[in-house]
Amino acid sequence: MSAPFLQFAQLCESLAATTGKLEKRRLIADWLRSLSADDAGRAALFLSGRAFPETDPRNLNLGGSILSKAVAELSGADQDAMRAAYRLHGDLGAAAFDLLPGSSQPKAALTLASVESAFGELAAARGPAAKLPLLLALLGNASPMEAKFLIKLVLGDMRIGVKQSLVEESIADAYVAEASAVRRAAMLTGSLPGVVGLAAAGRLEAARMKLFHPLGFMLASPVASVEEALDRFAQEIRDEQAGVSAVAPDEEQNAAGAASLAPAASPADLPPNLALREAQMEDKYDGIRAQLHGGDPEQPGRVALFSRNREEITASFPELAEAFAALELPLILDGEVLAWDPAQSRALPFSSLQQRLGRKRVTDEMRQRVPVVFMAFDLLSENGELLLDRPLSERRERLERVVGSQSPITLASGRSVRSNPVQGSLFAAVEDAEDEAFSRLVLAPAMRLESGDQLEQAYIEARARGNEGVMLKACHSLYQPGRRGLAWLKLKRELATLDVVVTAAEYGHGKRAGTLSDYTFAVRDGDTLKNVGKAYSGLTDAEIDELTAFFLAHTLEDLGHVRTVDPVVVLEVAFNNVMRSERHASGFALRFPRILRIRIDKPVDEIDTLARVEEIYASQPDRPVEAG
């Protein structure tokens, strides 16, 4: 008999109220240990906030609208009551707990297995009309506590202070295994239920990698200046235990863009100027970080692209799926999907890609107007061999061979481009072959760092090419999924800052529920204000509380979740770039805006103007080319 789902809900409530990581881990491990292996697998999966394992392509496709409709129907709450409950918690599951009545009527007991089965039925149902009766049946059999965590689980937003890494540690505790072995098995298999089964049987070493489930992405730490980049990278080199050679590749390798290295003295013994030469430089591209899987002989022709949050995005780029369908060996590549100008062999701005995201159907006209390529900068698996524990220098050398052999089979209509990175020029020299085809697989150019002046120049050249900046990677670095350390750095300076005024404030979610923490802001255009963006990061909790009280007292119109406010609070915001946008009356939007400070010293009549926004837009080396 499967365990009651109520036990899961009660555990989640306890976890949300527990602050200590060790106590959370003990609570999870104790409960997993008390369950059958099958139920423990379900519990581990649900605790990680997922309805299905990563390797399972099913999706519930249940959003806030249909969930709210179900809660309203079951509770009898009107729109005002629904809005008030949600505003109080910033969480639909917690709102449902308040709204749904306890019932004395006997209900079918929910179990972990029955919830798993219900999720399968919901995933198979097509469209809201088919899903709603199933959802009503599931929530109708749930107590308010169960409904609270069913909704949280469906939305993938548990808010109990538990990440998958903690669930993995708890599995290790429950079955007396090494946490590293559990993490590796989870990474290789993409299935927490499968990992629990292996751990319970004492067979974690039997885990094998499968294509078409995403590995975690290694991340880079941001730096804002050449000096900071060099200091932090040199420190990472000194702290690294394993040494690599500071000898530059020979001439033959330079011509091929190779970066092979041999073991040498510990970097801790290297003087700073030699430590810097252990860095590989690449452009930081303004595209979509993606992982490409393909070449599986058991599933010929299948290709999958995964975004940084490990969601499959293949449907948005059908031409890449078509081009890589003929891969001749199993591969997992790390890289960037870029909008591409074949005529000039260079990347186009990110804004060119935005219209492609989330589309179930990409038209032929769109494919022709915005061609895309996969810019590969790392090789994670080749022919079934996982390469995460190999140094970057080796992975790079193997990547170059792979691109050399596989790039010709990814040709597409257009112009042919062949990547040929050489020492001394960070951007690849591109040779035009025939005006008939270009490869969808491009090797990211890379070169060795020799000096701070070289890094500064590389940054200037990268921006001139329309890219975001420069990546700095330790040649000895292993690929560590999910880690953001100093082995990889990204030099990406803020384009500019603007002084703006807040015109609307929106209630936040989670810990910011009940506070007005998301701010729409505007610049001056003559005697009027025109919105250019919205920001929600950069202020302290105390500042947000203070602004909430102010905006509640200076509301012009209460629209429920959003309030238009008296435009008197001036903020200084930073951002990555300016884009054309139809969302705002200004015609522009700031990309990745961040609040730097509240400008209590600046009156509204001194904030920046729309003309200044247009000036910044026009000065961008990576702005889209506009029709004349």
Instruction: Look at residue 492 in the predicted model and tell me its pLDDT.
Output: 80
560: left (phi over 0), alpha (psi -120 to 50) or beta: left
Q: How many residues does the chain have?
A: 628
Instruction: Look at residue 621 in the predicted model and tell me its pLDDT.
Output: 67
- State pLDDT tens for residues 396-434: 999 999 999 999 988 875 433 333 333 333 433 333 334
Buried b (16+ CB within 10 A) or exposed e, 490-503: bbbbebbbbbbbbb
Asked whether the beta carbons of 355 and 370 are under 8 A apart, the reply is yes
3-state secondary structure of 64: helix
> Of 31, 306, 24, nearest to 158 (Cα)?
24
Residue 90: what residue type?
G
Instruction: Look at residue 103 in the predicted model and tell me its pLDDT.
Output: 60
Measured on CA atoms in the order 166, 168, 169, 175, is the torsion positive or negative?
Answer: positive
Rg (CA), the chain: 27
For the entire predicted model, the pTM comes to 0.73
Catalytic residues: 284
The list of the chain residues with pLDDT below 70 reads: 103-108, 240-276, 413-436, 494-495, 621-628
Walk me through the domains of the chain, giving residue ranges and CATH numbers: 5-206 (1.10.3260.10), 282-447 (3.30.470.30), 496-619 (2.40.50.140)
Cross-strand partners of 281:
447, 472
Residues with Cβ < 8 Å from 157, sequence gap 6 or more?
49, 91, 510
- The residue assigned the tokens 């200004």 is 586
- State pLDDT tens for residues 84-103: 888 888 889 999 999 998 76
Buried b (16+ CB within 10 A) or exposed e, 354-365: eebeeeeebeee
Instruction: Look at residue 431 in the predicted model and tell me its pLDDT.
Output: 39
Alpha helices in 431-572 (DSSP H): 452-464, 541-553
Give me 559's structure tokens. Answer: 């629209």
Instruction: Look at residue 210 in the predicted model and tell me its pLDDT.
Output: 83
Instruction: Look at residue 247 in the predicted model and tell me its pLDDT.
Output: 30
Judging by DSSP bridges, how do beta strands 469-474 and 562-565 pair with one another? unpaired
Measured on CA atoms in the order 161, 164, 165, 171, is the torsion positive or negative?
Answer: positive
- State pLDDT tens for residues 318-360: 999 999 999 989 999 999 999 998 888 888 888 778 777 777 7
Cross-strand partners of 451:
none
* Structure-derived torsion over alpha carbons of residues 78, 80, 83, 85, reported in degrees to the nearest 10: -80
- The residue assigned the tokens 């801790």 is 268
Alpha helices in 355-426 (DSSP H): 364-369, 392-406
Distance from C-alpha of 615 to C-alpha of 597, rounded to nearest angstrom: 23
Give me 623's structure tokens. Answer: 């702005």
Distance from C-alpha of 583 to C-alpha of 574, rounded to nearest angstrom: 20
Instruction: Look at residue 31 in the predicted model and tell me its pLDDT.
Output: 98
